[in-house]
Amino acid sequence: MESGGVVTFDDYMQEVLTRRQTGLGQGQRAGQFYFNVLWDVKPRLSNRVRGTLFDPFFNDEKIPDFLTFVGRHWDD
C-alpha cells in the first residue's frame, strides 16, 4: 500500500469524490485531477500511466480508459 487510507480501487474513487467535494483541485480539468489524486495515493501506478494512451492529464476524454487501466492494475 502506498497511501494510508487508500487501499482499494474503490477507495481511490471515493478519495477523488471526497477531494472534489471539499474543493481540492479547483482549476484543474477532470483528467488532471484524477491523475493527480492517483499520483498522491499510488505514485508507481501513476508513473505506469504517464505518457500512455491512458493518460488523461491533457485529455479528459481518456478518463474512462484511464479508470479501466487503473482498476485492472491496482493490485499489480
Q: Residue 9 domain-assigned?
A: no
Q: In this model, does residue 5 exceed pLDDT 90?
A: no
Q: Residue 13 domain-assigned?
A: no
Q: How far apart are CA 38 and CA 41, in angstroms?
A: 5
Number of structural domains in the chain = 1
Task: Return the pLDDT at 1.
Answer: 43
Task: Return the pLDDT at 14.
Answer: 96
Place of cell 499489480: 76
Tens digit of pLDDT for each residue in 9-54? Answer: 999 999 999 999 999 888 999 999 999 999 999 999 999 999 999 9
Q: Residue 34 domain-assigned?
A: yes
Q: Residue 6 domain-assigned?
A: no
Range of the domain at 36: 28-76
Residue 6: band (very low, low, confident or very high) from pLDDT cuts 50, 70, 90? confident
Q: In this model, does residue 70 exceed pLDDT 70?
A: yes
Quick one: CA torsion of 62, 36, 30, 45, rounded to 10 degrees?
A: 30
